[in-house]
Structure 1
């Protein structure tokens, strides 16, 4: 190896130490110490694409396995065949490719005993990238081998990063689509973006009115979600410098990328400008920028779908409330009763551990619990005196009437409402109606709605009674825990009684004492 080392004159071989940002790790696996010394001597000071070569020396296949698990970014392995065993190098190749499933690292087999591993057999049977006899590997050939190996490794890593980045976008999109509120959506976008880019610093998601091009602190800036330094006291954290950067992006109507921050921009179908401002200590590569463009397209699409979903949800909820209020109005009960029941039920369901989807269904379906009262005559429904046994039997029919009105719907919400309408007068001890269900046989939605409904009924004036005091209501629920009501739910209800009373006050009317 006495050739003069010549550095090739090409654009991707750089001599300046100032351009180095990282290293190319090269693992030398050989049981001859001289091989390590000569290899390092020949390639000392070599720089490829602004990064020097970092050598890792081991003297057996067993030691090589340790280093391969320690460093996941080894670019090249210069590997001897005969070490602790005659085929130690070949077995290491199989281990790397098959057990570690590492297809990216380049492997150059270098042997002083070609008879132990003939090139014609080894190159076919083993996944190696080059085969050299030690006698032929001059300084120039070693350099050429190193450059070609690093180029291949660089290209494979780029391909893998593209593939990985697209996979992260594909994985993140369904998660974003599952967000059911604007705030959750914005937070989800930030979390997915931070994970995708491996960033962990401050970021914020902005929605700016299209006419407020300068985006000043005059109310036109609507911050939906924030992380890191921006998470609290956002108006104070939004410095003049950040504001100016946002103004520039709004003026150019294009994303901007800099060394320590970037701002993503897109314009939606509703003619509003949307921004993501994110700070970090990692420079965004050209590949990351292309991935961010794709990500923004998915986010924009998800946002439009979410807006449609929320509009439909709000419309559906209002229709359900109005329909439920018709039934309550017929029995001369307060219009806000159904709204309070919906909020009580949602809170209790949340504390019980229902999923977000189940909470949405319960929130919309609970107000429909007494829809069957539409089938009961006014004379019985609004009778101020005590009902006869026959009249009470007629009143009890409202649970099946409501169920029959709702059960045929294809809407999940209305099917849930049908269950609640039928079962909300079942009792936990099995003495309720219409089917005498017991305990967990009663749907959780109905058990929750029963508590919400009875609490609000006792707390309000009705044609047949005056409102009860909170003390009397609490005593009633404790006495009927495990009888009329699910005991676990009763405990949860009163464990969160301050929140219940806050809902009661928010949707109050003149029915309370």
Structure 2
């Protein structure tokens, strides 16, 4: 800049109380001389005891990075024409819309006012001042900057006031929440800082009923006192804080000092609260009057919360006395309820026994029938294939034995009425078991033209009941055959997934509807899909699978991409079940 345009600020700047921090001002201009001239013109600038921190950006792109990194910039001295003729105006939109910074004051400085007419810029862009570089002398720069900083200061004060009030208001409907006292305390600290127009740290301490042991409860902390919030409520105060708080409790009045001020509140319920505020400056008479008014209103709010907590404690005691006086009636009702439950269980047991037996016996019977038909076909061959006929007879005999064992197991379960049924735990090769079940059900799949694919490892061991696990796998495989379309593909797999041993049966059947998901593993539940060859269904199969999985410490799952897209049913066993062997 020319020397006839810039003038030094007079040395006689009024002395103000010392305050921590500086005003952050960003100079955005592609002319290095503008940066140097601005720093020169604003050398020694002070406002409210705070100097300037002047940050430089030589392009709009550089300014974007600066503004993203520094969200405390109070004023932006912005050139219009940089990389492009409207780079500065585009940056204004970036600040207001993308960064959503409405408090930073923006002063446009242009050396070519004709390219950005002042009236259009003022109307179309959210800026706070518009100056031509030729008219912006040191005095005018001082005046514009001071006005902008004052406006920024007022906007920040309004924002802090709004936040404090929001916290206090938000605490009102949360009195039933045990954290409502903390929210109210945090709101008080924020509001005090806003009322005093200072960046202050503070701590709020509660002493109930004038206790003399001075084990105070910290309600909230901010700034350098924020670390108290991670401690237990009755944690001792630091050595430099405890005497100040204890003295205020003893004197029962506000105390205003050059560095720290303490505020005293007493509620009508007898609770006492002290707020220690580190404001880094003395408070004026107006500040003290505002504090008196504010704390008088706050004592009512704190009293409401404290009284509500006491009411909750009283209700707990009352409920306990009512429970004690009605204990005998509750015990009598419980006895009656148990008797009624026993009667209902006995009545439902009959239905469940019949349903379970009918379901579980169908699969072995179907195997026997399938093998018998194959045996019948073999007898018509000449000469008769004796070895194949003997193999089919062995399959029939094995299924009949399994049928007998299943009947005995089901009857034992029914007599125990679904109480704790002990499993015969032993090492079980889950892969071999799945292979046996697959081969036993293959004739049923062949009758419907379905392919039965087994993706099984050589062996997979876990600790469990062989017959129970066989029953669960058999239910999944027979269900897949029953509900899959003719000529469909069914896949049985055993492996490890996410720390679990999994046996999964996948089909290309009708899949699962959203309505099926909520009742999938319930007893006597009929899903939207129907057996594809008219087979019968009791609605017990998946509930039996779920129960067997849970008895082994595992779970049953079902997944489907939707109707018509097949489904995968699986039993999953955690590592704990595997490691028991």
| Pairwise TM-score range, normalised by the shorter structure | 0.5 to 0.7
- For residue 94 of structure 1, give the secondary structure of its aligned residue in structure 2: helix
Q: How far off its partner does 1:77 sit?
A: 0.8
Match of 2:311 in 1: 308
Alignment of 1:493-508 (within 5 A): none
Match of 1:48 in 2: 47
8 Å contact kept, 1:426–1:434: no
Cα distance change, pair 79–53 in 1 and its aligned pair in 2 (3 A): same
Matched residues in 2 for 1:68 and 1:245: separation?
41
Cα distance change, pair 86–280 in 1 and its aligned pair in 2 (3 A): same
8 Å contact kept, 1:186–1:224: no
Match of 2:116 in 1: 117
Match of 2:322 in 1: 320
Cα distance change, pair 170–256 in 1 and its aligned pair in 2 (3 A): farther
Q: How far off its partner does 1:313 sit?
A: 3.4
Cα distance change, pair 433–269 in 1 and its aligned pair in 2 (3 A): farther
Matched residues in 2 for 1:199 and 1:143: separation?
28
8 Å contact kept, 2:168–2:184: no
1:372 equivalent in alignment to 2:333: yes
8 Å contact kept, 2:93–2:125: yes
Cα distance change, pair 203–104 in 1 and its aligned pair in 2 (3 A): closer
Cα distance change, pair 432–155 in 1 and its aligned pair in 2 (3 A): farther
Alignment of 1:20-99 (within 5 A): 20-99=19-98
Matched residues in 1 for 2:30 and 2:128: separation?
21
Match of 2:206 in 1: 205
Match of 2:154 in 1: 155
Match of 2:101 in 1: 102
Structure 2: segments with no counterpart, 5+ residues: 194-198, 221-226, 353-418, 423-542, 554-581
Cα distance change, pair 232–151 in 1 and its aligned pair in 2 (3 A): closer
Q: How far off its partner does 1:306 sit?
A: 2.2
Match of 2:497 in 1: none
Match of 1:464 in 2: none
Matched residues in 1 for 2:95 and 2:9: separation?
31
Cα distance change, pair 68–433 in 1 and its aligned pair in 2 (3 A): farther
Q: Could you say which structure has the higher strand fraction?
A: 2
8 Å contact kept, 1:200–1:280: yes
Match of 1:274 among 264, 272, 275: 272
Q: How far off its partner does 1:265 sit?
A: 3.4
Q: Which has the higher contact order (CA 8 A, sep 6+)?
A: 1
Count of matched residue positions in the alignment of Structure 1 and Structure 2? 342
Flag the structure with larger Rg.
2
8 Å contact kept, 2:5–2:134: no
Alignment of 1:76-475 (within 5 A): 76-175=75-174, 177-180=175-178, 204-209=205-210, 216-217=212-213, 223=216, 242=242, 245-251=245-251, 253-256=252-255, 263-270=262-269, 272-276=270-274, 293=295, 296-315=299-318, 317-327=319-329, 370=331, 372=333, 395-396=336-337, 431=345
8 Å contact kept, 2:29–2:78: yes
Matched residues in 1 for 2:105 and 2:233: separation?
51
Matched residues in 2 for 1:64 and 1:314: separation?
63
- TM-score scaled to structure 1, two decimals? 0.54
- For residue 47 of structure 1, give the secondary structure of its aligned residue in structure 2: coil
Matched residues in 2 for 1:6 and 1:307: separation?
66
Q: How far off its partner does 1:256 sit?
A: 4.1
Structure 1: segments with no counterpart, 5+ residues: 210-214, 328-368, 374-380, 382-394, 400-424, 439-477, 492-513
Cα distance change, pair 33–326 in 1 and its aligned pair in 2 (3 A): same
- TM-score scaled to structure 2, two decimals? 0.49
RMSD, matched Cα:
4.8
Cα distance change, pair 305–226 in 1 and its aligned pair in 2 (3 A): closer
Matched residues in 2 for 1:98 and 1:242: separation?
47
Matched residues in 1 for 2:349 and 2:130: separation?
81
Q: How far off its partner does 1:235 sit?
A: 9.3
Q: How far off its partner does 1:8 sit?
A: 7.7
Matched residues in 1 for 2:347 and 2:326: separation?
21
Matched residues in 2 for 1:85 and 1:432: separation?
87
- For residue 19 of structure 1, give the secondary structure of its aligned residue in structure 2: coil
